[in-house]
Structure 1
Amino acid sequence: MMRRNRLLLIAVLYCSLPVAQAGGACPSVTRVGLSDLGYAAYREQGRIAGIAVEIANEMGRRTGCKFEFHWYPRQRLFIEMEAGHIDMTMGSVRTPERDAYARHLPYAYLQYDLVLAAAPSRQYHSLADFVEHGSGRLNVTRGVTYGAAVDAQLALLAAAGRLEVVNDYETVFGKLEMGRADGTLATPPIYSKYLKQSSLHRRAAVIPIAEATARFTGIYLSKKTMEEQVRQRYALTLKTMVADLYVHGIYTRYFDEAIVKRTFRQGQGPLLTALSAPED
């Protein structure tokens, strides 16, 4: 099995490398949209950094193309892409609405957890359990896609007056620290950063929820502003970066072994299959 996986990796690299390095002119610049996603994308001392930036920079290095980073609130990000003002987004979950104007390229997985500002008096096994038996208010970030099962529970919280939607995770975790909200939904890259930087790390509770399943996170490439040849070139470059474990290596620099294992527990196979699929 190990030998077969090694041969598959070599085959992927061999087939992808010539296209990633050659063929087709780069755009004058690829405008990359990012938003607050904890260690996945953040602003610090006037610069944009994080996992997504490292991935985009390596794509630029391997293709020789120029990438330019732009910061937006999460909800605004995809409005700007649909309007043709940016060419590429990072840390993006695939949805049918976004597929209409962009191509999705996955590079990792994400899964949301329930993050409470203080350890609860009872144990919750799901978001539905929290909705039914809890009394706390959640703050969530506008423009984030959670999936149908989670959305159904958030609708119940909203109807009960226990949900507030804000612009970004910085606001969410600031309110949690000040006691103006009781919890949120976030992925490990998001809450790892914000818990570490605040007093919340001494008292917060992170609870896996049954409604949240692991999903692809990745890049969206605009079908409006980017030629298909360029999209294909970027797809093959990212595929090589996933296959040679470069993306995996970025995650190991930010997180402990447990989080990295959880992030990639479905393995490289589904990611490579999705990256090999023809464009719709």
Structure 2
Amino acid sequence: MSTSAKSHPAAALLRRMAALLGTALWLAGSASANPLCPGKQPLQFAHHAFGSFYSDGKGIDVDLVNEMSRRSGCHIVQTLKPRSRIWRELEEGVLEMAGNGIENAQRNQFAVFIPYIAVRARLLYRGAGRAPATVAELLQQHPRLGIVRSFKHGEPYDSAVDTLRQQGYVVEARDMDQLFEWLQLGRIQAAITHPMIYQYYLPRLQ
């Protein structure tokens, strides 16, 4: 999902852009004075290292933002930030937009969410023995689990992470790059991610 600070004019832009992205190309960018762009300042869109979505200045989210800018005529500045900082700046109103967020009640208080892709979280396991087949088995085996700081994964994984964190089995990485580095080094035995992410990182693991 793409997220935008709820109180900022960019929230209205993102809603309208979500509609624009689903319409015919000939509708885009025909007017010289485009009401989509809120104010004269460029909009800020923050990425975080996230495999196929963003890595080294390329990815699905970069293409999406470039297309939003092209169709709307708005100047959108793209930056790279830690995920935890992105959520903080969205809540404070410092940042207008970001990509790839899980919606929940707390975040709905300060952001609007526009779905643009749906994926299901999965457990990636590189520990000894059989991989946990269910969340219940994950809790029973309690491998050392790595997550990215401030990430949400949806239920039932979020509840399992809370339980394992209380038991001391959860470590937090600063970003997805570090998470997979830890997986490669054996510092963690499991991580919660999804195919579009691990299919990007796994070929790079030795």
- For the criterion TM > 0.5, the same-fold answer is yes
Structure 1 equivalent of residue 35 of structure 2: 24
Aligned length: 181
Structure 2 equivalent of residue 129 of structure 1: 137
Identity %: 25
1:110 partner SS: coil
User: Structure 1 counterpart of 2:23, which letter?
Assistant: L
For the pair 1:75 / 2:87, whether they are aligned, the reply is: no
User: Does the Cα contact within 8 Å between 1:21 and 1:63 map onto a contact in 2?
Assistant: no
C-alpha separation in 2, matches of 1:13 and 1:50: 22
C-alpha separation in 1, matches of 2:73 and 2:50: 27
Shift of 1:193: 1.7
User: Structure 2 counterpart of 1:53, which letter?
Assistant: V
Unpaired segments of 5 or more residues in structure 2? 1-21
Shift of 1:25: 5.3
1:125 partner SS: coil
Unpaired segments of 5 or more residues in structure 1? 1-11, 200-280
Q: Which digits, 9 at most, give the CA deviation of each residue in 1:105-127, with x for residues without a partner?
A: 11110211111125x52353212
Shift of 1:161: 2.2
C-alpha separation in 1, matches of 2:142 and 2:114: 39
TM-score, with normalisation over the residues of structure 1?
A: 0.59
Structure 2 equivalent of residue 189 of structure 1: 196
User: Structure 1 counterpart of 2:98, which letter?
Assistant: T
C-alpha separation in 1, matches of 2:175 and 2:166: 22
C-alpha separation in 1, matches of 2:61 and 2:77: 13
CA 1:175–1:64 in 2, change beyond 3 Å: closer, same or farther?
same
For the pair 1:174 / 2:171, whether they are aligned, the reply is: no
Q: CA RMSD in A?
A: 2.2
User: Does the Cα contact within 8 Å between 2:83 and 2:150 map onto a contact in 1?
Assistant: yes
Structure 2 equivalent of residue 161 of structure 1: 168
C-alpha separation in 1, matches of 2:53 and 2:110: 23
Which range is displaced more, 56-65 or 123-132? 123-132
Q: Which digits, 9 at most, give the CA deviation of each residue in 1:128-149, with x for residues without a partner?
A: 21221x2521111111112242
User: Does the Cα contact within 8 Å between 1:142 and 1:167 map onto a contact in 2?
Assistant: yes
